[in-house]
Amino acid sequence: MGHNIAWPESKQLYTEQQVSDAVAIQAEEINRTLAKTPLVALCVLHGGMVYSGLLLPKLTMPVSLDAIRVTRYRNTTQGGDELHWITRPELSLKNKTVLLMDDIFDEGKTLEYLAAWAMEQGAERVYSAVMVDKQHNRKPQKYKVDSAAMAVPDEYVFGMGMDYKGAWRNASGIWHIV
Ligand SMILES: O=P(O)(O)OC[C@H]1O[C@H](OP(=O)(O)OP(=O)(O)O)[C@H](O)[C@@H]1O
Ligand SMILES: Nc1nc2[nH]cnc2c(=O)[nH]1
């Protein structure tokens, strides 16, 4: 997957600089909200990788970093209801404040599931942060993401860690398929 996928017909929604600036503002908000609380920050792979790299150096509390890998979309553009666990974190979440870092809050099933899972692991608090929140009304009834740096329209988006058919996570800025 991800080899030789041609650059799709797409339009740029945000430049890399605009994303970076928005994440810097978001980090200030997270620093205010979570103050000096030590965090276990979990990068939700793969999509959350670039976003985590932008956010982490802007956080001012002590952070222990780990990663988890679940997938709902499996390199396709439509997600199923089932989440597949690929990698679990090594760090214990017991009595910790956990920061989940993901690229996109779309239908919200991934973060809703992961937040509940982290609480089951004994976390004291789970805070979720994403790079983009897709604008539509198909969100979970009972779960909201705590913080989103930017909004994107209800289109398939890629770039800054988000894939198009398994490729182009490296695209600079955020693009949508036209
Ligand atoms: O809000 P949702 O509708 O649940 O979708 C959001 C999730 O979808 C993508 O993951 P994907 O399953 O594609 O795996 P990936 O991170 O490896 O791309 C993305 O990284 C989020 O984790
Ligand atoms: N790349 C990508 N992954 C997603 N996962 C859920 N929604 C999206 C999307 O719009 N783009």
User: Is the model's pLDDT at 74 over the cut of 80?
Assistant: no
Q: Show the domains of the chain with their CATH numbers.
A: 15-151 (3.40.50.2020)
Task: Give the residue whose CA is nearest to atom 5 of ligand 1.
Answer: 106
Rounded to the nearest angstrom, the distance between the alpha carbon of 47 and the centre of ligand 2 is 9
85 touches 28 (CB < 8 A): no
5 touches 164 (CB < 8 A): yes
For ligand 1, what atom is nearest to the CA of residue 79?
3
Rounded to the nearest angstrom, the distance between the alpha carbon of 162 and the centre of ligand 2 is 6
- Mean of the per-residue pLDDT values for the chain? 95
Q: Alpha-carbon distance 5 to 152, whole Å?
A: 23
Rounded to the nearest angstrom, the distance between the alpha carbon of 104 and the centre of ligand 1 is 7
Q: How confident is the model at residue 78 (pLDDT cuts 50, 70, 90)?
A: low
CA 46 to chain centre: 9
71 touches 83 (CB < 8 A): yes
Rounded to the nearest angstrom, the distance between the alpha carbon of 161 and the centre of ligand 2 is 10
Residues with CB under 6 A from ligand 2: 73, 104, 106, 156-158, 162-163
pTM for the full predicted model: 0.96
Residues with CB under 6 A from ligand 1: 44, 46-47, 71-73, 79, 102-110, 163
Cα angle value 38/40/41 (rounded, 5°)? 115
Q: How confident is the model at residue 80 (pLDDT cuts 50, 70, 90)?
A: confident
**For residue 32, what are its two tokens?**
């205010």
Q: How confident is the model at residue 81 (pLDDT cuts 50, 70, 90)?
A: confident
* Residue pLDDT, tens place only, 88-123: 999 999 999 999 999 999 999 999 999 999 999 999
pLDDT, residue 73, reads 75
* Residue pLDDT, tens place only, 42-68: 999 999 999 999 999 999 999 999 999
For ligand 2, what atom is nearest to the CA of residue 158?
1
Task: Give the residue whose CA is nearest to atom 6 of ligand 2.
Answer: 106
